[in-house]
Structure 1
């Protein structure tokens, strides 16, 4: 099971923090600080897999990818495959790139709800739902169409009454 998904910049500011297991806010903040301290102290040429038992409990692993000014981090237990989680980060980033046309930190900051919607199409309740970025994009486009229809319906009905 996936325990958490974090996106943070290179200064350690969290841009997305989604925990799939309950933790009080203080523990979440402490975990984010600990994850960042581990990531920023690692050299570029070492593995992207880290034991996360010290701050997420026993049987926890962490996988991350560093793109430009952002770290994408997944924390999970032993029931998940490490390489599959690394690939899932790639799917997440590819989907963000398709949505925002070369995603950057500002896209994540100003489109927070869209980011959560994309993540919810990939992972829900700590379980992987979809591993294809094209299928995720189809779902996102369908959601966007659903939200546009009521707007048009209410706008036109307003003019005709």
Structure 2
């Protein structure tokens, strides 16, 4: 399993609707998780997938992006920056395991990214999607970083 189906109520509360949906997924043997803050979960998802897709688009040979140490290091820095920023803005990440991107030393994260990019997992779940959806990923890149800029500006207006 790569990632369970993730959902939440806008309010963050449990509802009859989420209970019913959980029951349907459980009955169908589909892995799922309910989260409290779907907005933060989606931001964290973008904080991860946008730099990964960017790495493929920046590489001279996208299918071998994992062999380009300069791009892997740049990707590791982007991941660290994205998650540190979101944590600072919101106080927490969702799921909590995304904090690993904040704490892993840059050289270790760079190696882990290179290995993942060059793996069959990387090919199937990262490269193929980036290759098939470049317009979508570029739009997500644009919107995600514009949103982060807006958050940063709003924070300074308050101070």
TM normalised by structure 1 equals: 0.27
Comparing both structures, which one devotes a greater share of its residues to strand?
1
TM normalised by structure 2 equals: 0.27
